């Protein structure tokens, strides 16, 4: 009888206070002033069928103690973190909670737990190589600078995918940041294009990035890369993550986690992409491209 009475009481409480007994979702944005972060935030909220508690770390002069208090006061069931700063804060104070991240470069360097889920900021290498091959059918030797620590496994997968498409990936490992430029200079004569990937050892700071672009430009070797900003430095092709899709994808993961659905991959590859072709730079290098491939490009720079 006791069990029966407790069950009835629980049902009554759920009917009376159902809105308050919903799972609680929090969103922490490292900086709402960053467009890709704000886009992911809005798409996430639109895809979640309940109110979301929001914290924008750029809107107020947050002290860590204030954020800690807010996290413990709300104590959400799940937290969606956009950007590295947001993730590190959530992981520091409430790592026992379900945490989903996105918009983080080199996510493998993060302190992860069994409760961590996310959307990678790196697209599948096979997809990118297919795209390179489609737009530039004559390019068959592509160079990559990488560190074994962060991208050793990735480069092996990329080489395997490339070989199946008749493309050779020539990878050069960089052990320390000071070796980036010497390694690049040795690599450039061997390749037809440089594939610049996200790696904190290879590119520790903006100055190294600028020098890398300058050296490649001097040798007339086009750069394929992953961030739209790099077109300003002279990248010929940028294949980046589609930010609206990222927000919706994070929302789908959140709902699966909260509903205890089976999650195949704790960190998923991005489901959408955005392609920018710098036609001005392509023509300056005399790089042959397929005219019909331009229909698959989201943005042309002429």
pLDDT in tens, 32-51: 999 999 999 999 999 999 99
pLDDT band at 270 (very low <50, low <70, confident <90, very high): very high
Under DSSP, is residue 205 helix (H, G, I), strand (E, B) or coil? coil
- Whether residue 105 is predicted with pLDDT greater than 90 in this model: the reply is no
Q: Check: CATH 3.30.300.30 for 125-241+274-301?
A: no
Helix (H, G, I), strand (E, B) or coil at 78: strand
Question: What distance in Å separates the CA atoms of residue 119 and residue 47, rounded to the nearest whole number?
Answer: 15
Q: ∠68-70-71 over CA atoms, to 5°? A: 65
Mean pLDDT computed over 78-83: 98
pTM of the model: 0.78
pLDDT at 297 over 60: yes
CATH code for residues 17-121+244-272:
3.40.50.2300
Q: Which 3 state secondary structure label does DSSP give 53? A: strand
Report the pLDDT value the prediction gives residue 63, as an integer from 0 to 100.
Answer: 82
Cβ count within 10 A of residue 9:
10
Distance CA 147, CA 235 (A): 21
Query: Average of pLDDT values for 106-111?
Result: 85
Compute CA distances 235 → 78, 224, 268, 276, whole Å.
38, 6, 27, 9
The answer to whether residue 6 scores a pLDDT higher than 80 is no
Share of the chain above pLDDT 70, in %: 93
Q: Which residue has the higher pLDDT, 21 or 203?
A: 203
Given a cut of 70, is residue 16 above it in pLDDT? no
What pLDDT, in 10s, does the model give residues 227-252?
A: 899 999 999 999 999 999 999 999 99
Q: Find the largest Cα–Cα distance for the chain.
A: 84
* CATH 3.40.50.2300 in the chain, residue ranges: 17-121+244-272, 125-241+274-301
Integer Cα distance of 112 and 102 in angstroms = 13
**CA dist., res. 71 & res. 88, Å (int):** 13
Give helix then strand counts, H and E, for the chain.
10, 13
């Amino acid at each position: 009888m006791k069990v029966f009475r407790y069950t009835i009481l629980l049902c009554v409480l759920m009917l009376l206070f159902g809105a308050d007994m919903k799972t609680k979702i929090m969103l922490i944005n490292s900086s709402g002033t960053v467009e890709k972060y704000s886009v992911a935030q809005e798409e996430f909220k639109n895809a979640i069928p309940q109110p979301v508690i929001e914290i924008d770390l750029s809107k107020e002069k947050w002290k860590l103690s204030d954020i800690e208090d807010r996290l413990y006061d709300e104590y959400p069931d799940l937290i969606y973190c956009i950007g590295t700063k947001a993730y590190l804060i959530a992981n520091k104070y409430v790592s026992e909670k379900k945490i989903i991240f996105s918009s983080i470069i080199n996510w493998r360097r993060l302190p992860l737990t069994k409760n961590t889920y996310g959307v990678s900021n790196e697209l599948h290498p096979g997809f990118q190589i297919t795209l390179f091959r489609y737009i530039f059918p004559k390019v068959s030797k592509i160079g990559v600078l990488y560190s074994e620590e962060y991208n050793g496994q990735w480069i092996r997968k990329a080489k395997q995918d490339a070989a199946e498409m008749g493309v050779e990936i020539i990878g050069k490992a960089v052990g320390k940041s000071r070796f980036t430029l010497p390694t690049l200079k040795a690599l450039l004569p061997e390749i037809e294009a440089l594939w610049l990937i996200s790696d904190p050892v290879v590119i520790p700071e903006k100055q190294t990035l600028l020098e890398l672009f300058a050296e490649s430009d001097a040798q007339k070797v086009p750069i394929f890369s992953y961030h739209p900003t790099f077109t300003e430095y002279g990248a010929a092709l940028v294949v980046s993550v589609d930010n609206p899709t990222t927000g919706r994808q994070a929302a789908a993961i959140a709902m699966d986690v909260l509903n205890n659905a089976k999650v195949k991959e704790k960190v998923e590859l991005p489901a959408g992409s955005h392609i920018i072709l710098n036609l001005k730079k392509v023509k300056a290098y005399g790089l042959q491209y397929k005219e019909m491939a331009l229909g698959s490009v989201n943005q042309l720079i002429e």
